[in-house]
């Protein structure tokens, strides 16, 4: 399913949902509300930490969902040999933080090259 179909509407829904998560986060961090000794920088640091965690979770889940669409074997573009697809974990920098990707990859033993099938 394409995100572009009703992108503006979907984006507004996601922003509203995330704003609500922010309110929940505020209540989780400061159940009684922040005291007067809590600075804006303290609040910002907690929110930035949560934002990075959301990025890691969301990107990890979406790329995992894409990987499920791939076949268990990938044909080598050079020789055509069917090569088993494995997963290799690696950290990548994304906007708003970093994410750990379980990247699908295959290796053609005949051509001695790594293949990176993508959805």
Segment 29-68, which members bind Zn ion (CB under 5 A)? none
Closer of 48 and 82 to Zn ion (Cβ): 82
Query: Among 5-13, 62-70, 96-104, 107-115, which window interacts with Zn ion (CB under 5 A)?
Result: 107-115
- Residue 44 or 71: the one with the smaller Cβ distance to Zn ion is 71
The 8-class DSSP code of residue 72 comes to S
Strand order in the sheet with 82-94: 73-75, 82-94, 97-108, 113-115
Q: Please select the residue that binds Zn ion; options are 49, 110, 116, 118, rule is CB under 5 A.
A: 110
Distances (CA, A) of 6 to 10, 56, 84, 105, 119: 6, 25, 37, 33, 22
Q: Which stretch binds Zn ion (CB under 5 A): 8-16, 19-27, 54-62, 77-85?
A: 77-85
Using CB atoms within 10 A of its CB, is residue 79 exposed (0-12), middle (13-18) or buried (19+)? exposed
Among positions 29, 54, 76, 94, the unique one binding Zn ion when judged by CB under 5 A: 76
Which of 85, 106, 108, 115 binds Zn ion (CB under 5 A)? It is 108
Contact status: 111 vs Zn ion (CB under 5 A): yes
Counts of helices then strands in the chain (DSSP H, E): 2, 4
Cβ closer to Zn ion: 10 or 110?
110
Report CA 79 to chain centroid distance, whole Å: 33
């Amino acid at each position: 399913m394409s995100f572009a179909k009703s992108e503006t509407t979907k984006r507004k829904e996601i922003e509203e949902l995330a704003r609500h998560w922010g309110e929940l986060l505020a209540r989780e961090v400061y159940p009684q509300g922040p005291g007067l000794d809590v600075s804006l920088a303290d609040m910002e640091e907690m929110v930035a930490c949560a934002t990075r965690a959301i990025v890691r979770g969301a990107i990890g889940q979406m790329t995992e969902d894409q990987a499920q669409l791939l076949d268990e074997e990938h044909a080598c573009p050079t020789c055509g040999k069917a090569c088993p697809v494995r997963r290799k974990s690696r950290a990548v920098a994304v906007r708003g933080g970093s994410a750990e990707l379980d990247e699908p990859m295959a290796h053609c033993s005949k051509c001695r090259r790594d293949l990176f099938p993508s959805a």
